[in-house]
């Protein structure tokens, strides 16, 4: 009919087995994942562009919240295996803090009992997510692994360079974010100024403790 078609893949690379099949059927292909560009081009898509994610500032913004939303440390997201592995190391430390964890699959924690009263099961609407981010002193961001044969459909093992939507959403709420590192993070944020990065569980625990103690610095970065 002469109508130009476009698609924006905003969940790459986790379901690339599906998206790579779809991409050649569109005149314009957009992806938030830097690593996906070459994959779509090799699949026959002629015009492929990098379009990073962003945040809805009408939903994710600084706001006063009631005590029920307040915590020392908050994490919102599904308990994928790499996140479970990280939190298995954090549980003994977090058990002595006021913690909120939201999402499915967290029953896989080895010491689930120690945090069971802090876990809200299932999916949470954006409006509620923003309240919990605002009520937290620190929000942890841990990207899911691109290689996960159980929960992903990424048989080509496309890597992940770009940051998730939560990176933007946590920052927009004006809360201190401690995030793991993705390659594209450095083109969008300045670590140690806009947010704080970590690479290991021990480093994460050390930085959580430091920033819980240093409220002025925590608020300055947030």
The whole-number pLDDT of residue 96 equals 96
CB atoms within 10 A of CB 117: 7
Closest CA to 66 of 118, 139, 134: 134
Residues 100 and 120 sit within 8 Å (Cβ to Cβ): yes
Residues of the chain whose pLDDT is less than 50?
A: none
Contacts of 9 (CB under 8 A, 6+ apart): 19, 23, 29, 30, 31, 32, 33, 36
What pTM, to 2 d.p., does this model score? 0.95
Strands 28-31 and 48-50: parallel
Structure tokens at 55: 């945040």
Structure tokens at 193: 């100024």
Measured between alpha carbons, how far is residue 85 from residues 90, 110, 131 in Å? 9, 9, 27
Mapping DSSP to helix (H, G, I), strand (E, B) and coil, where does residue 212 land? Answer: helix
Closest CA to 221 of 165, 179, 163: 179
How do residues 173-196 score in pLDDT, each as one tens digit? Answer: 999 999 999 999 999 999 999 999
Residues 144 and 82 sit within 8 Å (Cβ to Cβ): yes
The whole-number pLDDT of residue 101 equals 98
The whole-number pLDDT of residue 77 equals 98
Cα atoms found within 13 Å of the Cα of residue 18, Cβ hemisphere only:
10
The whole-number pLDDT of residue 26 equals 97
Give the N- to C-terminal CA distance of the chain in Å, as an integer: 50
**Chain center to CA of 135:** 18
Mapping DSSP to helix (H, G, I), strand (E, B) and coil, where does residue 21 land? Answer: helix
């Amino acid at each position: 009919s002469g109508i130009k078609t476009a698609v924006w893949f905003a969940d790459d690379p986790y379901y690339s087995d599906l998206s790579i099949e779809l991409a050649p059927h569109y005149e314009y292909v957009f992806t938030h994942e830097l690593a996906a560009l070459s994959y779509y081009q090799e699949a026959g898509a002629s015009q492929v562009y990098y379009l990073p994610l962003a945040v809805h500032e009408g939903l994710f913004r600084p706001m006063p919240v009631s005590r029920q939303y307040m915590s020392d440390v908050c994490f919102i997201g599904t308990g994928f295996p790499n996140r479970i592995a990280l939190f298995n190391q954090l549980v003994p430390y977090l058990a002595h803090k006021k913690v909120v964890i939201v999402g499915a699959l967290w029953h896989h924690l080895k010491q689930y009992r120690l945090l069971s009263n802090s876990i809200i099961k299932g999916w949470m609407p954006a409006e509620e997510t923003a309240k919990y981010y605002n009520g937290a002193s620190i929000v942890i961001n841990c990207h899911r692994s691109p290689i996960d044969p159980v929960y992903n459909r990424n048989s080509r093992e496309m890597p992940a360079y770009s940051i998730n939507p939560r990176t933007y959403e946590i920052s927009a709420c004006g809360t201190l974010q401690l995030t793991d590192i993705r390659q594209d993070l450095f083109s969008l944020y300045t670590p140690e100024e806009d947010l704080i990065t970590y690479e290991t569980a021990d480093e994460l625990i050390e930085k959580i403790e430091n920033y819980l103690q240093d409220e002025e610095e925590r608020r300055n970065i947030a």
